[in-house]
Amino acid sequence: MITTKDSDPSSKIIIQITDTHLLADPDAEFVQINPERSFHAVIADILEQHTHIDAIIHTGDLAQVARPETYQRYLDYMTKLNIPFFHIPGNHDDIRYFPFHTPDPKPTVVDLDQWQIVMLNSAVQGKVHGWIQSEQLEYLDQWLNDNRDKHVILACHHHPFAMRSKWIDQHILKNTHDLTHILEKYQHIKAVLFGHVHQESLNQWNHIDFLSTPSTFAQFKPQSENFAFDEVAPGYRYLHLKSDGQFETKVKRLKGFFQKINKEISGY
């Protein structure tokens, strides 16, 4: 059992999940994988390994088949965990049906006392690439200026910096410069969490950690010129946020969980 609280009563435990790609039918398969089964297996591992969780953050592509019933089933399942949970859309989600916490384009802010998580919508309806609307960026800039006494994590779906993978880098966040132009003005931003790339990564810019996390579904092969699946297991990210503004993080993957992927698919 992992110890999830230390002697600091103000510390927070956050779990990031991403890219669940749920289908309308929970028993259906996509690329010979049942996304529902792997998602539930990840949640089961999270609950087994962590006795205390302050929030679960989902960074998009909640659905592969983006229908109201898909989202409702997810909400029903997560509500039963009795853990605060939050989510933002990805390129596979449909913003017409997506269960936003706050009306789009206003970002959702997760209040964890000294720590705050600002969740930005980078999804563009009908597109694979990402773009954060100017209204969100203006809100973010003002919010960061008003909350300089907080430790801040940002979350979005799309990767702001290249993954050195030609095919997925076509679908990057297209206005990263607009985002970093704001971020470079502030010193209290600790990390940016994202999904989309179905793999673990760390980039550091301006003393900010940019962290991607494995999918709960299928993984993409790192640094691949063309679309390719990886054979590593699904996973999630654990973050231990400390009151002094430091944090520890680790990616956890399922053990003994094997999936037979249809590698003939040429894209997602």
Of 95, 77, 206, residue with least CA distance to 154:
206
Is residue 5 very low, low, confident or very high in pLDDT (cuts 50, 70, 90)?
very low
Can you give the pLDDT at residue 9?
77
Is residue 192 very low, low, confident or very high in pLDDT (cuts 50, 70, 90)?
very high
Q: State both tokens at 261.
A: 């992927």
**Could you report the per-residue pLDDT of 89-108, keeping only the tens digit for each?**
999 999 999 999 999 899 99
Q: State both tokens at 12.
A: 């927070």
Can you give the pLDDT at residue 128?
97
Is residue 8 very low, low, confident or very high in pLDDT (cuts 50, 70, 90)?
confident
Backbone phi, psi, residue 85, to 5°: -135, 150
- What domains does the chain contain, in order, with CATH numbers? 12-253 (3.60.21.10)
Can you give the pLDDT at residue 2?
37
Is residue 264 very low, low, confident or very high in pLDDT (cuts 50, 70, 90)?
low
Of 240, 227, 154, residue with least CA distance to 194:
154
Report, as an integer, the average pLDDT of 120-126: 97
Task: Please check the confidence at residue 7 and state whether its pLDDT lies above 70.
Answer: no
Are the C-beta atoms of residues 240 and 11 closer than 8 Å to each other? yes
**Could you report the per-residue pLDDT of 130-170, keeping only the tens digit for each?**
999 999 999 999 999 999 999 999 999 999 999 999 999 99
Q: How many other C-beta atoms can be found within 10 angstroms of the C-beta atom of residue 222? A: 17
Q: State both tokens at 67.
A: 């229908």
Are the C-beta atoms of residues 50 and 4 closer than 8 Å to each other? yes
